[in-house]
Structure 1
Amino acid sequence: MKALFLAGGLGTRLRPLTEHLPKPMALVGNRPWLEHLLLNYKAQGIYEFVVAVKHYRELIESHLGDGSKYGVRIDYAVERELLGTAGAIKNAEHLLSDRFIVVNADIIHQVDLASALKFHEAHRGVATICLTDVDDPSHYGVVVQTDGGRIVDFVEKPKKEAAPSNRINAGIYIMERRALAFVPAGKAVSIERETFPLLIDNGSGVYGHPIGGYWMDMGTTERYRQLHWDLLDRRFPVAIGGQDMDNKGIWLGDNVRVGQGVLFVPPVMIGDDVTIGDRAIIGPYAVIGNGSRIGRQARLSYSILWDRCRVSAGAQLNACIFGAGMQAGPHILHEAVCNRNLEVHRR
Structure 2
Amino acid sequence: MKALLLAGGLGTRLRPLTDHIPKPMVPILGQPHLKRLISYLSPSGIDEVVVTAGYRGKDIELALGDGSNLGVAIRYVHENTPLGTGGAIKNAEKHFDGTFLIFNADILSEIDVQAMLRHHKKHDAAVTIAVKQVNNPSQYGVIEYDADYRIRSFKEKPPPGEASSNWINAGVYVFEPAVLREIPAGLTVSVERETFPALLSQNHKLVAYRYEGYWLDIGTTDKYLLAHRDILDGKCRTIAGHSGSYISPTATVSPEATVVEPVYIGDKAIVDDKAVIGPHAVLGCSAYVGYGSMVIDSILLDGVKVGQNLKVINSVAGNNCRVYDNLISDTCCEF
For normalisation by structure 1, the TM-score amounts to: 0.93
Write the letter of the residue equivalent to 1:334: I
Q: Which residue of 1 aligns with 2:66?
A: 66
Identical columns (%): 40
Q: Which residue of 2 aligns with 1:271?
A: 266
1:251 is aligned, of 228, 246, 254, to 246
Equivalent pair of 2:221/2:332 in contact (CA under 8 Å): no
Q: Which residue of 2 aligns with 1:14?
A: 14
What is the CA distance between 1:193 and its match in structure 2?
1.3
Q: Which residue of 2 aligns with 1:318?
A: 313
Q: Deviation string for 1:74-118 (max 9, x for gaps)?
A: 000111111111111111111124111111101222211111111
What does residue range 87-106 of structure 1 map to in structure 2 within 5 Å? 87-106=87-106
Q: Which residue of 1 aligns with 2:329?
A: 335
Q: Which residue of 2 aligns with 1:148?
A: 148
Equivalent pair of 2:285/2:302 in contact (CA under 8 Å): yes
What is the CA distance between 1:207 and its match in structure 2?
0.7
Q: Which residue of 2 aligns with 1:171?
A: 171
Q: How many residues align?
A: 335
Equivalent pair of 1:241/1:253 in contact (CA under 8 Å): no
Unaligned runs of 5+ in 1: 343-347
Equivalent pair of 1:26/1:33 in contact (CA under 8 Å): yes
Q: Which residue of 2 aligns with 1:296?
A: 291
What is the CA distance between 1:149 and its match in structure 2?
0.5
Write the letter of the residue equivalent to 2:310: A
1:280 is aligned, of 261, 275, 281, to 275
Unaligned runs of 5+ in 2: none
What does residue range 110-125 of structure 1 map to in structure 2 within 5 Å? 110-125=110-125
Write the letter of the residue equivalent to 1:216: L
Distance 1:117 1:250 in 2: 35
Q: Which residue of 2 aligns with 1:235?
A: 235
Q: Which sits farther off after the overlay, 148-157 or 231-240?
A: 231-240
SS, match of residue 116 in structure 1:
helix
SS, match of residue 208 in structure 2:
strand
Distance 1:104 1:222 in 2: 19
What is the CA distance between 1:336 and its match in structure 2?
5.6
Misfit runs of 4+, over 6 Å: none
What is the CA distance between 1:238 and its match in structure 2?
3.2
What is the CA distance between 1:241 and its match in structure 2?
6.7
Verify: 1:84 aligned to 2:84, yes or no. Answer: yes
For normalisation by structure 2, the TM-score amounts to: 0.96
SS, match of residue 131 in structure 1:
strand
Distance 2:199 2:232 in 1: 41
SS, match of residue 334 in structure 1:
strand
SS, match of residue 159 in structure 1:
coil
Equivalent pair of 1:326/1:338 in contact (CA under 8 Å): no
Q: Which residue of 2 aligns with 1:345?
A: none
Equivalent pair of 2:110/2:237 in contact (CA under 8 Å): no
Equivalent pair of 1:109/1:214 in contact (CA under 8 Å): yes
Equivalent pair of 2:44/2:113 in contact (CA under 8 Å): yes
Distance 2:311 2:161 in 1: 43
Distance 1:237 1:254 in 2: 23
What is the CA distance between 1:158 and its match in structure 2?
2.1
Distance 1:168 1:50 in 2: 25
